[in-house]
Amino acid sequence: MSKLLYIKANPKSDDVSRTFRISEKFIETYREYNPQDEIITLDLYKEKMRFLTLEDINSIFGPKTDSSKDHPILKYTYQFAEADKYVIAAPMWNLGIPSILKAYIDYITVSGITFKYTDQGPIGLMKGKKAVHIMATGGEYTQGPSAEFEMANRYIKTIFGFMGIEVQTIAAEKLDIIGEDVEKIVSDAIKRAQELAKTF
What CATH number does the domain containing 164 carry? 3.40.50.360
193 contacts 170 by C-beta, under 8 angstroms? yes
Q: Note the pLDDT of residue 65.
A: 80
Task: Note the pLDDT tens digit of each residue in 92-150.
Answer: 999 999 999 999 999 999 999 999 999 999 999 999 999 999 999 999 998 888 989 99
Q: What pTM, to 2 d.p., does this model score?
A: 0.95
Question: Rounded distance, CA 80 to CA 155, Å?
Answer: 18
| Structure confidence by residue, pLDDT tens digits, 37-92 | 999 999 999 999 999 999 889 888 878 887 888 889 999 999 999 999 999 999 99
Nearest residue to 77 (alpha-carbon basis) of 87, 64, 88: 64
Burial 77-94 (b: 16+ CB within 10 A, else e): bbbbbebebbbbbbbbbe
Element housing 122 (H / E)? strand 121-124
Domain range for 62 is: 3-199
Distance CA 154, CA 65 (A): 34
What phi and psi, each to the nearest 5 degrees, are found at residue 136? -110, 140
Task: Please tell me the total count of domains within the chain.
Answer: 1
The DSSP letter of residue 91 is -
**Gap between the Cα atoms of 156 and 72, Å rounded:** 23
